[in-house]
Amino acid sequence: MILSNFIANQTVHEKYGGVVPELASRAHMQNIVPVVDVALKEAGVELQDVDAIAFTQAPGLIGSLLVGGQFAKSLSMALNKPLIAVHHMQAHVLANLIDEPRPSFPFLCLTVSGGHTQIVLCEAPNKMKVIGETIDDAAGEAFDKSAKLLGLPYPGGPLIDKYAKEGNATRFRFPEPQIPGLDFSFSGLKTSILYFLQNAGTSLVYKEEFRATDEERKTFIENNLADICASVQHRIVTILLNKLKKAASETGIKDICLAGGVSANSGLRSAFEEAGKKHKWNTYVPAFQYCTDNAGMIAITGYYKFLDGDFSDLSVQSTARAEW
Ligand code: KG4
Ligand code: ZN
């Protein structure tokens, strides 16, 4: 059971249109002690009562990972409690095990975040295999970059979701990439949105003669924002679901989960439930607070690693990139 899942948001990045790594690690340094204090208070436990210290070891922004890693090591050393290094992407998947109903093993998980897009085959909490992933941008990046092209602030994913609710998803037909197997690609979509906007909706491919003025482009976006957002979201969702259906039919697995920040998207959630009904899947989506990055998912992964006695020593290194 998760006793506390406190999150300190960093609004400092908003005016830069994306996360600034140096500012992120500074904010981490400032926040980490108060955040741990609040978490202990919310949970009603003393530091001495915890059984182990789990922390995110990889992947991510190295400055932020180092702050968390060093803090976790210090706590582990001071309290003489085991240290557990957690992989961020494994944690997103295991967020599905936090609350009832839980999927049975083996299950498939579509993990969609700002940095990753993966289909994971999960045989046990500590036994997973990535069977498909993006060859370029992540799904969250596709949302955020499209939003940026539309002049929306960072992170744009939730805003596209909001405007899409009022729009016609089939009005603009953005192309679906033809990528073999279970892999994904989103960079082509971003390019066609760029051209589409440069041409104020006239064409999906670049044609100099259709190039609109800045004013025409702005007016086009203003007058059609909901339909553009709905059409972009529709395409991202169909790219994701078509590969997930392929993975389900190839593996014959019926327990299927979503995870990661983009699983908060209402279009993805409803299309996923619909596909589940049609294909007789048992579908699982974590509660909203366990979709975007959170402490609860690191705790549940720490718990399963604890049961397996999978501990780290103080020499464990934080890394920005990590296969698993
Ligand atoms: O998992 P996450 O919190 O952080 C990473 O590990 O990257 O995912 C963040 C991503 C961002 O790209 C954000 O725009 C996207 O999740 N996101 C959404 C929604 N909520 C968050 N994308 C679309 N619709 C949403 N409602
Ligand atoms: Zn994440």
Nearest CA to ligand 1 atom 19: 158
100-113: pLDDT as tens digits? 999 999 999 999 99
Residue ranges around ligand 1 (CB below 6 Å):
113-115, 140, 143-144, 155, 157-158, 161, 260-262, 264-265, 292-293
What are the residue ranges spanned by the domains of the chain?
Answer: 11-92+292-307, 100-186+225-285
* Equal CATH topology for 11-92+292-307 and 100-186+225-285: yes
Ligand that comes closest to the CA of residue 86: 2
The values of phi and psi at residue 112, to 5°, are -125, 115
Give the pLDDT mean for 192-205.
Answer: 88
Nearest CA to ligand 1 atom 10: 114
Does residue 210 carry a pLDDT above 90?
no
Return the C-alpha torsion angle 198, 200, 201, 203, nearest 10: -50
Residues in the chain: 324
181-197: pLDDT as tens digits? 999 999 999 999 999 99
What's the pLDDT score for residue 52? 98
Ligand 1 centroid from CA 116, angstroms: 10
Task: Give domain 100-186+225-285's CATH superfamily.
Answer: ATPase, nucleotide binding domain (3.30.420.40)
Strand extents, DSSP E, 17-154: 53-58, 83-87, 107-112, 117-124, 127-133
| Torsion over CA: 169, 174, 180, 182 (sign) | negative
- Mean of all residue pLDDT scores within the chain: 95
Does residue 299 carry a pLDDT above 80?
yes
Longest CA–CA separation in the chain, Å: 70
Q: Which ligand 1 atom is the nearest neighbour of the CA of 141?
A: 12
245-286: pLDDT as tens digits? 999 999 999 999 999 999 999 999 999 999 999 999 999 999
Return the C-alpha torsion angle 270, 273, 275, 276, nearest 10: 170
Name 54's Cβ contacts closer than 8 Å, sequence gap at least 6.
72, 84, 85, 86, 298, 299, 301, 302, 303, 305, 306
* CATH entry 3.30.420.40 includes domain 11-92+292-307: yes
Percent of the chain topping pLDDT 90:
90
This prediction's pTM: 0.94
Ligand 1 centroid from CA 293, angstroms: 9
